[in-house]
């Protein structure tokens, strides 16, 4: 895969991360926005400032008809949306053409496996389409948690893993099943090209990813069962891109709104970008944009990002 040579903007001193070289090609970001309608203006400002080439969104909490595609189009982004009323919802914004857009697991949302027919939206079509990829919303009983698209030969997924509520609940059992199903989905149809899984995994992979690991042993974010389910997923030759560049504890992507958790840095690193091992040699930087968690009406999550040659 060869991306365009245009350098992506936005890797500045406000972002946690590091880079080995300056000729970055493509910047791919991910953000649990916690309601696109509440935080649309913040997101537009962030896009104008950071200018990632691709942005994966989670928890948009909106149907496709409610998604502000026109506003993003003014900044040069195509939109692919898998919406759901009130809860969940994922999207991918891209300045580069997207093809093979797929919503949910194989066979869901009326799409036969392995994908819907490949489709591409280029710059010449941007002004003519009210929505770039008008598709069905989540069917009854189907959660809008997984969206994939191909960009420049790279298979990019926006992922929103269930939270699980409590470890003795059916919601937690569903979370474990969902992680297993994601791995099976990758095995069946997605491991034919370099890929990125970008999103809110609702799992802290290691102790260094929590501000107080001892307090989370029986929590749905860090319980042994969910860490084992996560380990089985990454055991499919996937790599946590942030840990290619940062080994220290204390780097988080989520902070509770309560009890001054953000200024005290009492957070969790549960937002991840996982890369297939064959892509790792081309990853030049990764980080967390902690500054985006500040200010009025923030999401409780910060954006995360990776740069790929």
Query: Over 80: is that where the pLDDT of 294 sits?
Result: yes
- What confidence tier does 120 reach under pLDDT thresholds 50, 70, 90? very low
The pLDDT of 53-77, averaged and rounded, is 97
Query: Over 80: is that where the pLDDT of 125 sits?
Result: no
Q: What is the pTM assigned to this prediction?
A: 0.85
Q: For the chain, what is the mean pLDDT?
A: 86
Query: Over 70: is that where the pLDDT of 131 sits?
Result: no
| pLDDT for residue 141 | 66
| pLDDT for residue 176 | 98
Candidate from 3-12, 79-88, 287-296 with smallest mean pLDDT: 3-12
| pLDDT for residue 142 | 84
Candidate from 26-35, 131-140, 211-220, 237-246 with smallest mean pLDDT: 131-140
Query: Over 60: is that where the pLDDT of 210 sits?
Result: yes
| pLDDT for residue 189 | 76
Q: Tell which wins on pLDDT, 192 or 252.
A: 252
| pLDDT for residue 108 | 76
Candidate from 44-48, 113-117, 196-200, 205-209 with smallest mean pLDDT: 113-117
Query: Over 50: is that where the pLDDT of 117 sits?
Result: no
- What confidence tier does 220 reach under pLDDT thresholds 50, 70, 90? very high
The domain segmentation of the chain, as residue ranges, is: 16-308
Query: Over 50: is that where the pLDDT of 15 sits?
Result: no
| pLDDT for residue 24 | 57
The pLDDT of 204-208, averaged and rounded, is 98
The pLDDT of 66-81, averaged and rounded, is 98
The pLDDT of 39-50, averaged and rounded, is 98
CA triple 28-30-33, angle to 5 deg: 145
The pLDDT tens digits of the residues spanning 178-197 come to 999 999 999 987 677 899 99
Q: Tell which wins on pLDDT, 219 or 19.
A: 219
Query: Over 70: is that where the pLDDT of 9 sits?
Result: no
- Record: fold of 16-308: Deoxyribonuclease I; Chain A (3.60.10)
């Amino acid at each position: 895969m060869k991306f365009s040579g245009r350098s992506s903007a936005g890797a500045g001193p406000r972002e946690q991360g590091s880079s080995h070289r300056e000729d970055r090609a493509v910047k791919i970001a991910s953000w649990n926005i916690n309601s696109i309608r509440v935080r649309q203006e913040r997101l537009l400002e962030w896009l104008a400032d950071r200018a990632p080439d691709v942005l994966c969104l989670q928890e948009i909490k909106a149907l496709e008809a409610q998604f502000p595609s026109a506003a993003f189009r003014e900044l040069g982004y195509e939109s692919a949306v898998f919406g759901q009323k009130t809860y969940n919802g994922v999207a991918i914004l891209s300045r580069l053409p997207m093809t093979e857009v797929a919503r949910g697991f194989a066979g869901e949302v009326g799409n036969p496996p392995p994908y819907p027919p490949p489709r591409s939206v280029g710059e010449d079509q941007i002004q003519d389409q009210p929505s770039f990829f008008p598709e069905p919303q989540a069917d009854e009983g189907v959660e809008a948690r997984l969206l994939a698209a191909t960009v420049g030969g790279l298979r990019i997924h926006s992922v929103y893993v269930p939270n699980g509520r409590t470890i003795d609940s059916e919601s937690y059992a569903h979370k474990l099943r969902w992680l297993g199903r994601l791995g099976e989905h990758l095995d069946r149809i997605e491991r034919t090209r370099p890929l990125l899984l970008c999103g809110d995994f609702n799992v802290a992979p290691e102790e260094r990813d929590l501000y107080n690991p001892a307090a989370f042993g029986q929590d749905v974010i860090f319980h042994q069962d969910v860490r084992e389910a996560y380990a089985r997923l990454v055991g499919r030759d996937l790599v946590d891109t942030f840990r290619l560049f940062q080994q220290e504890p204390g780097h988080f992507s989520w902070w509770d709104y309560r009890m001054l958790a953000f200024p005290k840095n009492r957070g969790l690193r549960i937002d991840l970008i996982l890369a297939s091992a064959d892509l790792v040699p081309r990853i030049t930087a990764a980080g967390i944009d902690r500054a985006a968690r500040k200010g009025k009406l923030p999401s409780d999550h910060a954006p995360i990002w990776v740069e790929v040659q």
